[in-house]
Every structure is written in structure tokens, then in C-alpha cells.
Amino acid sequence: MGPIGPLELGIVLLIVLLIFGPKRLPGLGKQLGSGMREFKDGITGNKDDDEEEPRPQITPATASTAQQSPAETEDAPTRT
């Protein structure tokens, strides 16, 4: 079995055209291209830092409450 020739490629394109129609083909091509680009960037590790969501910063108040055990929080007086 050799590489895909022009006849096989034409048959596949004709079947895709019949299934999806001429109006949806540009959108499908755009989605396929962007999906392949994201996959390639994920594999190679090329990622823009601007696209990542910022990580929440831990403040001292958050860190001190996270370090308390459940027993300490139950014994602590509550403020009203």
C-alpha cells in the first residue's frame, strides 16, 4: 500500500463535500487547523504566557488560616 494519490484524495474530498456541504467546509477547515495548532503547541510546549490564567496569590491571612488544624478553628472564639 503506497502513499495517497490524487485520485484517492479527490474521492475523499468529494465525500466530505457531499456530507458537510459547501457552506460548512470553511468553518470545518478553520476548526481543524486551530485544533492541530493547539495540539502541536501542547506537544512542543510552545505556549504564550498571555493566554494562561493568572494564578491566585496567597496572602498571609489566607496562609495562616490554611495552616490551622480543625481543632484550632473550633476552639477559636468567633467574632460577631
| Predicted pLDDT at 9 | 92
Residue 22 — pLDDT band, cuts 50, 70, 90?
confident
CA gap 61, 55 in Å, rounded: 17
Range of the domain at 38: 7-44
CA gap 4, 14 in Å, rounded: 15
Count structural domains, the chain: 1
pTM: 0.42
Q: Is 37 a member of any domain? A: yes
Q: Is 19 a member of any domain? A: yes
Q: Is 13 a member of any domain? A: yes
How do residues 58-75 score in pLDDT, each as one tens digit? Answer: 776 655 555 555 555 555
